[in-house]
Each structure stands twice: as structure tokens, then as C-alpha cells.
Amino acid sequence: MMPRSFTAFAVAATTMAVAAVHPSAQSSRSTSAQTSGSQGSGAHSQDAQSFVRTMLEANRAEIELGQMATNRASSSQVKSFAQMMVTDHTQNNQQLQPIAQQLGIELPTMLEPKHKAMADRLSSMQGADFDREFMNVMVASHEEAVRELRPFAEQSGQQSSTSSSGAGSSSSSSSASSSGNGNTSVAQYASMTLPKVQQHLTQAQDLQKNMGR
């Protein structure tokens, strides 16, 4: 049997060794968590930039197609809907432009290929055929817009619930702060825009039914 003094010394030595190793392990875990958080923030920023580009392109398409429909549509209801597209999406683009600038995104100067193909197809139609195809395009484009907007609109509620808990923490860098502000602005924009787009979708679906697809 070992003397009590030796046993006590061994226990004390073991405790000191564990204490010396433990802070290092904590530091390693903390560094790993910070790296993971930084990577996640970068991914969210990329998602936000892609979303803003998509919305800018969609707004431009809605405006140009709407302008075409105000001239070519035969139905007064379709003409009225088309004018609403021009007015609402022009306003929506004005709200989105400051966010795009904040994220370093250039405004589109022309229709992307998908929307250009839609415009070319519609420009070859007249009368009732134009009305039906225009409303088909409007339903499809607003369904897509709702799918794009919803995840970011949901983020707005999540950010509101957690903002108070993070109020005391400082930003690690000015670029990270700018990115975070951009992501918050995107979420707020999506939350504000989603109800209007859903309203447009409902109206477009009603007119589509009247046109007989």
C-alpha cells in the first residue's frame, strides 16, 4: 500500500495536468466554432447576393413584359394587370437598389436569356392568344418569386427574435458588419415584398382562369 502523502501528491499532480490541458482544448473548440460561424456568414452572404440578383432580373422582366402587354393585350383586365406590374415592380426595384449597392451588385442592363425568350415569344402574338400566354407567364413568374422570397422573409422573423440577445456583442470586422447589415436588409425586403407578390399571384391566377389558359 502506498503512503497517503504519495497518493495525495499523485492526485494533485493529475489535477494540475488536466487543468493545464483543458484551456487549450477550450481554445481549440472556440477557434473551430468561430471558423464555422465565419464560413456560415459567408454562405448566407452569397445566398443574399444571388437572391438580390434574381429579384432585380425578375423586376426588370415584369416591367418590360408589362409595358408590352399594355400595348398588345386585347382584354382591358389584362391591360390593367399589366399596368399594375409596371407600377409595382418599378417601385419594388427602387426599394431593392440600395440593398444591391450595399452588397456590391450591379443593376441588370438587359433581360437575362430566360426572360428574353419569354419577351420574344409574346412579341409574336396578338389578341386573345397574347392575353392567355401573358397571364400564363405572369402566374409562373410570380410562383417562382414566392418561392424565392419565402425563405428570406422567414429569416426576418428569426433575426427579430435574436437581435436583442446579440446586442452586446461587437463586430469582428467592418466587412463582416456590412455583410450582416446587407443580409438583414434583404430579409426585411423579402418580408415586406412577399405579401404583395402573393396578391399579384392570386390576381394572375384568377385572370388565367378567365383566359382559359
According to DSSP, residue 167 is labeled: T
CATH of the domain at 151: 1.20.1260.10
Q: How far apart are CA 76 and CA 102, in angstroms?
A: 40
Whether 201 is covered by a domain: the verdict is yes
Whether 190 is covered by a domain: the verdict is yes
Number of independent structural domains in the chain: 1
For the chain, percent of residues with pLDDT exceeding 70? 66
Whether 21 is covered by a domain: the verdict is no
Mean pLDDT of the chain: 79
Give the model confidence (pLDDT) of 118-170 as tens digits. 999 999 999 999 999 999 999 999 999 999 999 999 987 665 555 544 544 44
Domain residue limits at 182: 42-163+171-211
The whole-model pTM stands at 0.70
Q: How far is CA 94 from CA 60, 110, 173, in A?
A: 11, 17, 29
Q: Taking a C-beta distance cutoff of 8 angstroms, is the pair 189, 150 a contact?
A: no
Backbone CA torsion sign across 157, 158, 159, 165: positive
Angle between helices 127-162 and 113-123 (to 10 degrees): 150
Whether 64 is covered by a domain: the verdict is yes
Whether 12 is covered by a domain: the verdict is no
